[in-house]
Amino acid sequence: MTSQPEILASDALHHVTFTVNGAAYEIDVPARRLLSDALRQDVGLTGTHVGCEHGVCGACTILMDGRPVRACLLFAVSVQGASLTTVEGLGEPGDRLGPVQQAFKECHGLQCGFCTPGFLTTITAGLRENPDPTEEEAREMIAGNLCRCTGYQNIVKSVLRAAEIRRESGGA
Amino acid sequence: MTTKRFGQRVARVEDERFLRGRGRYVDDLAADALHVAVLRSPHAHARILDIDVDPVLDLDGVVAVYTYDDLSGAMAEPLPLLIPHPDLTQGRTQYALAKDQVNYVGEAIAMVVAVDRYVAEDAVGKITVSYEVLPPVVGLDAARAARDLVHDDVPGNLAATSTQATGDAMAAIARAPHRLALDLDVERSACTPLEGRGTVAKWDVDNGRLEVWSSTQTSTGVRAAIASKLGLDLAVVDVITPDVGGGFGVKVVHPWPEEVLVPMAAMALGRPVKFTEDRREHFVSAAHERAQQQHVEVGFDDDGRILGLDVEIWHDHGAYIPYGLIVPIITTTQLLGPYKPPVYKATFHSLYTNTVIVTPYRGAGRPQGVYAMERTMDAIAAYLGKDRTEVRSVNFIQPDEFPYDQGLIFQDGKPLVYDSGDFPQMLDKLKALVGWDEFPALREALRAEGRRVGIGIGCYVEGTGVGPYEGGHLQVETTGKVKVSTGLTTQGQGHQTVFAQIVADELGVRFEDVEVVTGDTRRMPYAVGTYASRAAVMSGSAIALAARSVRRKALELAADALEANVDDLEIADGVVSVRGAPGAQVALGTLAVLSNPLRYAFDEASKAATQFSVGDPDKVPVPEGTSPGLESRDFYSPPRSTFASGMHAVIVETDPDTAEITILKYAVVHDCGRLINPMIVEGQIHGGVAQGVGGALYERMAYDEHGQLQNASFMDFLMPYVTEVPHTIDIDHLETPSPLNPLGIKGAGEAGVIPSAAVFASAIEDAEGLTITRMPISPSELYDLRRTHAGSDPDPVTSPPDARTEPDRPPRGRHDQEDS
Amino acid sequence: MKPAPFSYVRPSTLDEALAVLAADPHAKVLAGGQSLVPLLSMRLAQPSTLVDINGLSELAYVRTDENGVRIGALARHADVESDADAWRVQPLLRQALRLVAHPTIRNRGTTLGSVVHADAAAEMPAVVSLLGAQVLVASTDGRRTIDAADLFIGPLECAVGTHELALELQVPALGRRTGSAVDEVARRHGDYALCGVAAVVSVGESGAIETVRASYLSVSLTPLVLDLSEAFVDGSASDANLEAAAEIATAGVDPETDIHATADYRRHLAGVLTRRVVRDAYTRAVAPDPEGAR
């Protein structure tokens, strides 16, 4: 006879520990707290934005153990022990811009900035996997993120420029 | 020698915070706030019989619930009708919380304030409302037929009928050698910024002030509305626009119900309150635009020159009309585009339906007007067997005819007078850019491969830099930093960068030393807002004027301090120096100290300043007519709009089997006068083109007959990803400076989206050889059109007027109006 | 759009998970969550308890042998898609997975989860139906295997009971001298298909077509599999035969009209895509190309 695992009541708080951008966090949240909300409110990092809460727009994309995932489609309780990266963690020491961020600035890859964090994390992971994308591959890399301001032209350019910057600085 | 910044592709200062995730959007603020959820009507049309909020009040974490019965004074009156018009005789606006009736799915009925949004939504789910469901009016046909009424006291569902005419158009058409009639349709879409609406309010008990942050395009508008609704003096209300995640027009509407309810709750509860709408809410309770039916009659000669043009428009305004008639006014006036029909009559009917309200969306009625005119031009060309660019050319206003008075009143209440432009040159550039003359050969070559391609064109004129005014405040601080503010707002247009470029050049300071704040009523309380492609023109000009005022003052102060002649002085990198006299210089920061003759030296700079003699000891320290400080507040108010223009062309490929539509090439020639920052202007064009592609091929608000929006999510409302927009957009600029403002600039914000429906309809028609009257068009609809076309008149364009209709749809013209 | 309250448990063993499911018929399993979480956020689903199986790491595997591919309940689409052995033995998996949503969704969504979600507009239910896959399920009563043909009983409804946990997807290998292909027409890149077709073509030693089977997305309430072999009696992939196959398809599908497309258009696409996909599968059957997926 297997013992029943403890099912906590719906309003119970769950103690969750994980790292974000290398720093350890411990939060106490109800099970239904979406990771997007937990990051913004419980952890206090508001750089991850919420555009739709149904996984389509990609503004909430963060890296979980290095892979892009939609924070609005995860519960905070599900990331116990995980290592998360948000836009706030993409910079270089001395508060300098990382290669993807730098490329966006050079190429005017953002206007209102709301969708931008989701693109930055997605592209950061994408370039780790494919450091030298063709233009078609660059387009494919960002094909799951919505932007309403830029029309994407300069975001594609930013991907290619970011690849260049990474190469120039010896890859990252 | 300082580099001039005006005209340069300067990287944006905003990016520094956005790229690091340090933007401050409204939901990022007030971590300690209570949260709001709103109960919204599930019915398109219903009487409210009873609202039971009792089950909610005892829920853990719920702080307050409000319904209409909790509103009093001005809050209990309908929300303002922002832009009255003499023809708007039946204007209706909603209440902040529904009183006895709801008129669209999404209308606000009750507001819950709770410790977090989760609990607030739980509470909303527990409120029970009994409704008497009424038959909804959905779509223009139903609105016109008026078997049911949206508002019981508005006959025919007609908010307004409005006509402008320059003569007897129908007579001119009757006399013309050739005549055509067209019936056209544009469907609803919406701005859909990635960030929805949001408002935070705090009542500062210690200072007796209400502080409000709202994701808005007009902080002064929101401020005035809140003060009025809550019975507060304007002076105690501050509205600050934080970073805004896109607006595109929808955030110029004010006050949203939540924009007044949240401050009301904040004051009543003595705690900060925050409303952040979710995506579904944005679909059903913000605003839509674009839906129109159009009937065009045109008379023309053998060259395609228009001799008379008569247009009748039916505009779906949704359930209420808070923004007045602006959108259809723009349709009927901007419809003329770069052309000069000698006689023109335009009538529009604004109709209510039980759907979300209709207020401006980038283009603001202009896309629909361009659609009507450009479809007409294509039809004329097809009828005469002429090239579509030739027909347009013979109708162009010529470069030597500016300023050209179209004889109508524009949306700003001013005469529709085009100030400058060069349409023939623009068309030549466009044809070269897209390869218009080479296209027939390209088409033949691809046809041999079994591929089907077409080319389309669309021309427009855009009245930008609309008044009444904007202001700029500029102050040089004692540190030498230049603080600039303007009251209109920013939603990604790079105002902090662009306005700093202007100041750097006008004042002679380093770009890096200029800091710009927009949309904060504490810094600049006189402003109108960001809309109608006006920010660069209006605030750019005002800020330039303020910079020039400060420059003059600085030079006077410096002339005094350096004992030199004003005409021998120059300013570079924030330092005033005497031309040809090295060493004779004074920093602007020092002049700022000198300009404010305080008794006390409070830091090194002010101590050091005393080494200069401050003019004649017999002179008054602050002479009459001047003021202390190296600052100025100036306003720019234009006599009328300044007219930008553009032409787009697209080459599309349609799949013979699947009817999928692919964009092969997209070209834009654009004239917005002098460019402050070409990189930013191009970005605006890219974004506009993407929205245009969305509106032409993907986006459509799908209401069912019950008034339910079937695609209130990003899964089913199809905004384009990168894979749906052109691989490249070829852009060429033309600059015909504006004579109306000090910088010679014109607006650029809306340009990319204006001709899209027309351009794609034109290209798909060209590829397919069938007539397109309704946009947007999907592959499924193209497939249907192909099958219909295969079985009907092979040359529908040449049919006489009134016979040229779609199957199953009776002719719509003035006959319907006479009957109803 | 926040979910309604639910109880939550994250079992550390399979038996714990099964015990919870046995005790509560309103409990739901959380694996990838890419389909479930939006339903929860929109309050279209309100389970009593969420059983988060992401702690059962022993279920995260993709195992391949010459008989086929076995995909554990926690194998993400991305894991299956990138698995070189799985690609070699059953290329239709990667061919189809490339069409599922976007890579970010595939990083989290599970292939087995997508199958049991039973959406006839999705790629994986159609693929497993075509390939005759099986799903191994477990409960406190023991284990059983469900054939794909018996798995999909209605729109978004599959035969896995509320007390059962789907453990493994067992996909047979693509046979010798067999080619596979899949294609779809969607409104936007990554959207659900307006219509999609997956096909498997087997040829004899001479290269003559022996069997042609195809499955269809978005044109029926449950995944539809059609045997098109009778259109290829002469063994060739001639235009006439492909046209005949297309006609079987257009007659066999039962699409609906919605805001994105009419039934007629979907039916038309079923024919067009049948021709294209069968031809592609045939081409691969006679000249196998390991890199041949689009």
Please report, for the domain that includes residue C13, its CATH number: 3.30.43.10
Last residue within a domain, chosen from A89, A115, A138:
A89
Eight-class DSSP state of B567: G
Cβ A67–C38 below 8 Å, yes or no? no
Q: Is C292 among the domain residues? A: no
Eight-class DSSP state of B153: T
Mutate: best of C102, C110, C192, partner A, most A CBs <10 A: C102
Same domain (yes/no): C127, C196:
no
Q: What is the identity of the amino acid at A125?
A: A
Neighbours of chain C (3+ CB pairs under 8 A): A, B
Candidates C20, C34, C190; nearest CB to A73: C34
Same domain (yes/no): C79, C147:
yes
The radius of gyration of chain C from alpha carbons, rounded to an integer in Å, stands at 19
C-alpha A47: how far from its chain's center? 9
Determine the 3-state secondary structure of A35 from DSSP: helix
Candidates B118, B194, B727; nearest CB to A57: B194
Cβ C272–B716 below 8 Å, yes or no? no
pLDDT of residue B625: 86
Same domain (yes/no): C195, C238:
yes
Eight-class DSSP state of A3: P
Domain that includes residue C36, residue range:
7-55
The DSSP H or E segment spanning B273 is strand B273-276
ipTM above 0.85, yes or no: yes
Candidates C42, C185, C188; nearest CB to B721: C188
Same domain (yes/no): C68, C166:
yes
Shortest CA distance to C20 belongs to which of C45, C57, C56? C56
Same domain (yes/no): A85, A107:
no
- Give the tokens for residue B428: 């030549």
Q: C residues 154-193 near A, CB within 8 Å? A: 189-190
Same domain (yes/no): A17, A82:
yes
Cβ A144–C102 below 8 Å, yes or no? yes
> Most distant CA pair in chain B: distance in Å?
96
Q: Distance of CA A52 to CAs A55, A58, A84, B676, Å?
A: 7, 8, 21, 34
Q: Which residues pair with C203 in a beta bridge?
A: C209
Last residue within a domain, chosen from A89, A117, A151:
A89
Same domain (yes/no): C271, C226:
yes
Give just the sign of the alpha carbon dihedral B122, B127, B128, B132.
negative
Same domain (yes/no): C166, C65:
yes
* Number of residues that this document lists for chain B: 820
Q: Is C205 among the domain residues? A: yes
How far is A75 from A162, CA to CA, in rounded Å?
Answer: 31
Question: What's the CATH number for B470-636?
Answer: 3.30.365.10
Shortest CA distance to B585 belongs to which of B569, B609, B605? B569
Question: Residue C247: is it exposed, middle or buried by C-beta count within 10 angstroms (0-12/13-18/19+)?
Answer: middle
Candidates B19, B492, B690; nearest CB to A112: B492
Last residue within a domain, chosen from A89, A124, A157:
A89
Q: Is A6 among the domain residues? A: no
Same domain (yes/no): A38, A106:
no
Same domain (yes/no): C190, C278:
yes
Task: State the nearest Cα–Cα gap between A131 and chain C, in angstroms.
Answer: 17
Cβ B193–A114 below 8 Å, yes or no? yes
How far is B119 from B123, CA to CA, in rounded Å?
Answer: 6
Same domain (yes/no): A59, A125:
no
Strand C27-30 relative to strand C49-52, pairing = parallel
pLDDT of residue B616: 61
Q: A residues 116-145 near B, CB within 8 Å? A: 116-117, 120, 135, 139, 142-145
Same domain (yes/no): A103, A46:
no
Same domain (yes/no): C215, C253:
yes
- Give the tokens for residue C119: 């959406």
| CB atoms near residue B412 (< 10 Å) | 19
How high is the mean pLDDT in each 10-residue block of chain B (820 residues)? 84 97 98 98 98 93 97 98 97 98 98 98 97 98 98 98 97 98 97 98 96 98 98 97 98 98 98 98 97 98 98 98 97 97 97 98 96 98 98 98 94 91 97 98 96 98 93 96 97 97 97 97 96 93 97 94 92 95 90 82 68 61 86 95 96 97 98 94 97 97 98 97 98 93 92 96 97 97 94 44 36 36
Structural domain tally of chain A?
2
| CB atoms near residue B129 (< 10 Å) | 20
Q: Is A17 among the domain residues? A: yes
DSSP B509-566: --GGGEEEEESBTTT------S-TT-HHHHHHHHHHHHHHHHHHHHHHHHHHHHT--G
How far is B648 from B759, CA to CA, in rounded Å?
Answer: 7
pLDDT of residue B3: 73
> Most distant CA pair in chain A: distance in Å?
63
pLDDT of residue C289: 59
CATH 3.30.365.10 location in chain B:
292-466+639-802, 470-636
Domain that includes residue A62, residue range:
13-89
pLDDT of residue C294: 32
Q: Which residues pair with A92 in a beta bridge?
A: A96
**Which CATH number does the domain housing residue A154 bear?**
1.10.150.120
Does residue B728 sit at the C interface (CB-CB below 8 Å)? no
Same domain (yes/no): C216, C127:
no
Same domain (yes/no): C167, C251:
no
Q: Is A154 among the domain residues? A: yes
Cβ C10–A80 below 8 Å, yes or no? yes
Q: Is A114 among the domain residues? A: yes
Q: Which residues pair with B284 in a beta bridge?
A: none
Task: State the nearest Cα–Cα gap between C160 and chain A, in angstroms.
Answer: 22
Tens of each residue's pLDDT in chain A, 172 residues: 455 677 777 789 999 999 999 999 999 999 999 999 999 999 999 999 999 999 999 999 999 999 999 999 999 999 999 999 999 999 999 999 999 999 999 999 999 999 999 999 999 999 999 999 999 999 999 999 999 999 999 999 999 999 999 999 875 4
DSSP chain C: --PPP-EEE--SSHHHHHHHHHH-TTEEEESS-TTHHHHHHTTS---SEEEEGGG-GGG--EEEETTEEEEETT-BHHHHHH-HHHHHH-HHHHHHHTTSS-HHHHTT-BHHHHHHHT-TTSHHHHHHHHHT-EEEEEETTEEEEEEHHHHEEETTEES--TT-EEEEEEEEPP-TTEEEEEEEEESSTTSPEEEEEEEEEEE-TTS-EEEEEEEEESSSSS-EEEE-GGGGTTS---HHHHHHHHHHHHHH------SS--HHHHHHHHHHHHHHHHHHHHHHHHS--TT---
Residues A77-109 have pLDDT tens digits of 999 999 999 999 999 999 999 999 999 999 999
| Measured CA angle at C67 (ends C61, C68), to 5 deg | 40
Last residue within a domain, chosen from C109, C139, C172:
C172
Q: Which residue has the tokens 């490339």?
A: C98
Determine the 3-state secondary structure of B795 from DSSP: coil
Decide: C53 and C29 in contact? Cβ < 8 Å: yes
Q: Is A7 among the domain residues? A: no
Shortest CA distance to C19 belongs to which of C45, C60, C53, C46? C53
Decide: B16 and B92 in contact? Cβ < 8 Å: no
Candidates C9, C30, C105; nearest CB to A7: C9
How far is B618 from B616, CA to CA, in rounded Å?
Answer: 5
Cβ B779–C189 below 8 Å, yes or no? no
Determine the 3-state secondary structure of B52 from DSSP: strand
Question: Scanning every residue of chain A, which has its alpha carbon at the shortest distance from the alpha carbon of B25?
Answer: A114
Q: Is C38 among the domain residues? A: yes
Half-sphere exposure of A64 (CA within 13 A, CB side): 23
Shortest CA distance to B621 belongs to which of B601, B594, B640, B603? B594
The CATH class for the domain spanning B32-134+191-285 reads alpha beta
CATH 3.30.365.10 fits B292-466+639-802, yes or no: yes
Question: Scanning every residue of chain A, which has its alpha carbon at the shortest distance from the alpha carbon of B28?
Answer: A46
Residue ranges of chain C with per-residue pLDDT less than 50: 292-294
Q: What is the identity of the amino acid at C193?
A: A
End-to-end CA, chain B: 71
**Which CATH number does the domain housing residue C99 bear?**
3.30.465.10
Cβ C8–A72 below 8 Å, yes or no? no
- Give the tokens for residue B699: 């986006």
End-to-end CA, chain A: 52
Report cis status (omega within 30 of 0) of the bond before B255: yes
| Measured CA angle at C83 (ends C80, C87), to 5 deg | 95
Q: Is A94 among the domain residues? A: no
Same domain (yes/no): C147, C183:
no
Q: Is A71 among the domain residues? A: yes
How far is B773 from B763, CA to CA, in rounded Å?
Answer: 13
Candidates C194, C259, C268; nearest CB to B711: C259
Angle, to 10 degrees, between the axis of helix A153-168 and the axis of helix A116-129?
A: 50
pLDDT of residue A46: 98
Eight-class DSSP state of B70: G
Cβ B194–A46 below 8 Å, yes or no? no
Q: Is C79 among the domain residues? A: yes
Structural domain tally of chain C?
3
Q: Is C220 among the domain residues? A: yes
Same domain (yes/no): C221, C127:
no
Q: Is C230 among the domain residues? A: yes
Report cis status (omega within 30 of 0) of the bond before B776: yes
Kindly report the three-state secondary structure assignment for every residue of B301-329. Answer: CCCCCEEEEEEEEEEECCCCCCCCCHHHH
